[in-house]
Structure 1
């Protein structure tokens, strides 16, 4: 049944109102033509975001602004907030999140501890802990920019979770590869990934030998992790695989192990890098030289800059900004924090309002954050946590965290997320949140607290007030469409006890979350 939706007719009416509004705007004020009315940014939203640098920054650098966060950034200034976020461990206290993380003690287990405790049992336990904690950090951490960057790198150096290949090590890949280097040097992250059991197993280098080299990791290292297609040849791929032989995994412990007996010996040459590679025991150092060459290559700088601009600025990245960020990356020895600072302080970023749309994952997180959900109490034994349920819910949107099975990662452009099924599931989720029957263990203010006191005089004033509280800027046509959805003209007098502020209030709130305005990143 579709009657439980925020009123699918209401969402459709709102989309139609948006389409009407957007059609009058210049082409530069909307996203690409392939983006549907339910995901394109309306002219009113673009204008509002353009004139509010705080909201624009927080839509991109967090998983969703909240009124409290907006107030904080207005008080400190955008640059000061950004600088603190780029040094989160020293400048952004996060005591509440630190306390919540204590519930997943198994994330501190070493690989052998996971094997010893779970072999023959529920081998997915620690992977589920990882997914729950990943989502919890995105929802509740004050270190929001770090969380978006962690998500970016998780989607760049892909290790699918859950997976039978990484059941004992994926939590350590996240901790020791992604989180440890997310704002540090990419060369360090790349080297750490190349020596982690999760990456070596997922891309088959653990089984690669001098007699039977496996080209999978050597190819993806070039194609996806560094220089990109067009920068190398098939001969380079073969040499890349040979340069990585010996980087393996110990079968008994599950830990990284360099195995000189598997090492190819002889000159290796990839693109502009080469090494005589004469001694098998020195193969790890040769691999480090190769990985550092790739991390510092101008093509890698351009590729990473392009991906970061797509993530934080526009589906069609400005060439001027990509070039500028690539230079910053190389000038800072592959350090990421300076690149991000230059990105967020650039004129191209300031001019990019309305050019990004939230993915389903981001939309769900932003919905929870704007409605004020707080961490649930530790569930009783045998009770499925709301966070576990949330991870499952995200899979119905087509974007479970760490759930992309291929090494190229989830797409980050609006056109990839226009599917009707995903949109419908998101609309239902919005209504469940607003109505209080989704993620019930996560406490949140009652939806009636969104209604101002004293009561707004008309339906138009009510809708405008709710939109302002949810940080959604509506056009007049959109506001009026919502009024009509609750069977009233915008100017009709609003009375205490009216359906719009009682049983139909969750539907109005859900409609605002359904709107393309809220979907704008």
Structure 2
């Protein structure tokens, strides 16, 4: 178990290093780092060893052509080319019938089930993108995001569901992380994987409380982590030398109650109801009854993250579920 945990941490650290390296390059190109921090530009082509190192970190590996291109135009111009490169991504696959026999009747090609009901077409596309796609930096950032904002095919077996989740990571690879958090939160594959979809308000009769799975993961894995950090990444400690946690159980419960009332989007031509049938094509929706009331959303006040200058540390009672969601994501995103 310890070896497995170490391997996962080492893998995540490597992916984060790739992201940080790329983000630094982006910041340099966009002028977000002071000129005094940037080495002076020269007309001398970059050394091959430096080019290879960059391409090993920011692409799927250097080639003779890519090394020559970076040496020809320089690091910044190459990065600008990467930001503007045609996006590869994944096709939005059609949703196959639930009945495998209906989709693959007798006489179908032997690859029918593999192509419709497994990750095979996405795996093929991944390697096609890696080998042929021009948007190498985008692919590496999207891959790193996938290692953080995880949806697993062990649970989500429909390639049509996974392709739409993966395209969020591709489309938002150079975007604002707040936008990524919102799209990922409402993605039905993520909702299914981490139990946010059909997460109902507290049931006073049965005593059942909202599911806390997504509330924990969005804090622990997707954003702020379990302990407070200093600016240099070291762990903040209290007077007794103990690590300072970033959140409490009460705050987890506050987020769990915030993430209630959302269900799959209704299928085309079908009226919406609470617990709509699975629909991985469109983002999840806040369920509203015939009167427009989000009756499955918890309406009590909710305690969220408390920090200096906190955005929405407490959600007011009787707020609409969509407002609660927006304010909760702001509360997470602006945590220092």
Give the shorter-chain TM-score range: 0.5 to 0.7
- 2:305 is aligned to 271
- 2:147 is aligned to 155
Deviations 1:100-158 (A, max 9, x none): x8xx8xx3245xx4347968653853632122212221222121111100100111110
Which TM-score applies when normalising by structure 2?
A: 0.63
Q: Is the 8 A contact 2:185 2:191 kept in 1?
A: yes
Over 3 Å counting, the alpha-carbon distance change for 1:188 and 1:114 in structure 2 is farther
d(CA) in 2 for partners of 1:206, 1:134: 28
- 2:325 is aligned to 287
Compare CA radii of gyration and give the structure with the larger one.
Answer: 1
Q: Is the 8 A contact 1:165 1:198 kept in 2?
A: no
Q: Is the 8 A contact 2:220 2:226 kept in 1?
A: yes
Q: CA RMSD in A?
A: 2.6
Tell me the SS of whatever aligns to 2:303.
strand
- 2:335 is aligned to 297
d(CA) in 2 for partners of 1:278, 1:173: 31
Tell me the SS of whatever aligns to 1:187.
helix
- 1:242 is aligned to 257
> 2:136 matched to 1:141?
no
Over 3 Å counting, the alpha-carbon distance change for 1:189 and 1:202 in structure 2 is same
Shift of residue 253 of structure 1?
5.1
Higher relative contact order (CA 8 A, sep 6+): 1
Q: Is the 8 A contact 2:156 2:189 kept in 1?
A: no
Gaps of 5+ in 2: 1-45, 104-112, 203-208, 228-245, 266-275, 288-293, 307-312
d(CA) in 1 for partners of 2:47, 2:182: 40
Q: Is the 8 A contact 2:211 2:256 kept in 1?
A: yes
Which TM-score applies when normalising by structure 1?
A: 0.41
> 2:200 matched to 1:200?
no
> 2:47 matched to 1:68?
no
1:52-201 pair list within 5 angstroms:
52-85=49-82, 87-88=83-84, 92-93=85-86, 107-109=91-93, 113-115=95-97, 121=103, 122=113, 125=117, 127-161=119-153, 163-164=155-156, 166-175=158-167, 177-201=168-192
- 2:30 is aligned to none
Q: Is the 8 A contact 1:154 1:178 kept in 2?
A: yes
Shift of residue 257 of structure 1?
2.5
Deviations 1:174-206 (A, max 9, x none): 11x211211101100100011111010000111
Over 3 Å counting, the alpha-carbon distance change for 1:150 and 1:243 in structure 2 is same
Deviations 1:388-443 (A, max 9, x none): xxxxxxxxxxxxxxxxxxxxxxxxxxxxxxxxxxxxxxxxxxxxxxxxxxxxxxxx
Q: Is the 8 A contact 1:277 1:283 kept in 2?
A: no
d(CA) in 1 for partners of 2:296, 2:47: 57
Tell me the SS of whatever aligns to 2:189.
helix
